[in-house]
């Protein structure tokens, strides 16, 4: 998991990311303990997780995906533009 600022993609401000994660967690009524998972998903490509399985999981990928979108919008980050 990318958590240190040294491991963040170029142009991603660690303080802005941290604040955006907090706001997105609060907006979706998620526990703060999910912050690390949300951070990873924000930085990972969408095709690695975006489907809902329909089993009432906690945490469901649909609201989690909305939180990811909120963070990405706020920090102006698009993982599809990252070079492999």
List b or e across 47-62, with b for residues whose CB sees 16 or more CB atoms inside 10 angstroms: eeeeeeeeeeeeeeee
* Of 6, 1, 5, 9, the residue nearest 78 (C-alpha): 9
Please provide the average confidence, as pLDDT, over all residues in the chain: 89
pTM to 2 decimal places? 0.84
In 4-66 the beta strands, taken as DSSP E runs, fall at none
> Could you tell me how far CA 1 lies from the centroid of its own chain?
12
> pLDDT by residue (tens digit) across 53-79?
899 988 899 999 999 999 999 999 998
pLDDT at site 52: 87
| CA–CA dist 21, 43 (Å, integer) | 12
pLDDT at site 82: 75
Rounded to an integer, the average pLDDT of 42-48 is 87
């Amino acid at each position: 998991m990318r958590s240190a600022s040294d491991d963040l993609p170029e142009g991603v401000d660690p303080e802005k990311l941290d604040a955006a994660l907090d706001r997105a967690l609060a907006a979706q009524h998620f526990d703060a303990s999910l912050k690390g998972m949300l951070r990873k998903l924000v930085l990972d490509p969408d095709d690695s997780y975006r489907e809902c399985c329909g089993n009432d999981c906690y945490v469901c990928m649909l609201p989690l995906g909305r939180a990811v979108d909120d963070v990405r919008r706020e920090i102006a980050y698009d993982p599809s533009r990252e070079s492999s």
